[in-house]
Structure 1
Amino acid sequence: MSRKFNALKLNATDNVAVALRSIHEGEWLSIQGDSEIVQVMQKIPYGHKIATTLIPKDAKIIKYGECMGISTEEIQPGYHVHVFNVRGLKEEERLSSTKEVQLP
């Protein structure tokens, strides 16, 4: 029997998953290749991010294995991660989060 997944983690280091469909409060995340057990605590719209671990206030939001923002409040696992609890990176944060590419 094939298992259906309702979320996708884009990189093993991510602390968020992306909803593959609208996910309702009380459902459990089913993430391919991930054994984390997270209950969804509020409705998550299709394509939006869900915290898979506790994200402290002022912590990096990691998606694609990269920092895509900073939390403005503590975000518990299973909660929506969006513009109301994440801010964009300041210029110095953006520059310090980029990886240097080594050229041959």
Structure 2
Amino acid sequence: MTAILLHPNDNILVVTAAIAPGDAVPIDGVAVIVPMAVQVGHKIARRALSLGETVIKYGAPIGSMTAPAAAGDHVHLHNMKSDYIASHMRDTLERSSES
């Protein structure tokens, strides 16, 4: 298994083994070709997600889409924002801890 569904209401899957571009991943019984590399622990879309749509993980909202994503697309900071912690806040905290 390459990706797991944590809760039946989730609209993302969590990657459990690295995915290479072009790999087929089963999503709800359908083989979906993933267009880009996705690392373990990252998320992929369970179905098409639209701009502004709430991202659901563990059955709870974790953020909003800042760009649309097709089923199998990588869902991360490039197309999703946290609704709880500003992304610039994470960047600032990471830079200050590197000093």
Corresponding residue number in structure 2 for 1:7: 3
The residue correspondences of 1:19-98 to structure 2 (distance < 5 A) are 19-30=15-26, 34-89=28-83
TM-score, length-scaled by structure 1: 0.74
More strand by share: 2
The 3-state SS of whatever aligns with 1:46 is: coil
Q: Which runs of 5+ in 1 are unaligned?
A: 92-104
Pairwise CA RMSD of aligned residues? 1.7
More helix by share: 2
Write out per-residue CA displacement over residues 18-72 of structure 1, whole angstroms, 9 at most, x where no aligned residue: 11011111111136xx424322111111110001200000000111111100000
Please say if residues 42 and 78 of structure 1, whose CA atoms lie closer than 8 Å, have aligned partners that are also in contact: no
TM-score, length-scaled by structure 2: 0.77
Count of aligned pairs between the two proteins: 85
Name the aligned partner's letter for residue 61 of structure 2.
C
2-side partners of 1:27 and 1:90: how far apart? 32
Which portions of structure 1, spanning 4 or more consecutive aligned residues, are displaced by more than 6 angstroms?
none
Q: Which structure has the larger Rg over C-alpha atoms?
A: 1
Q: Which runs of 5+ in 2 are unaligned?
A: 86-99
2-side partners of 1:90 and 1:47: how far apart? 20
2-side partners of 1:68 and 1:46: how far apart? 18
Corresponding residue number in structure 1 for 2:88: none
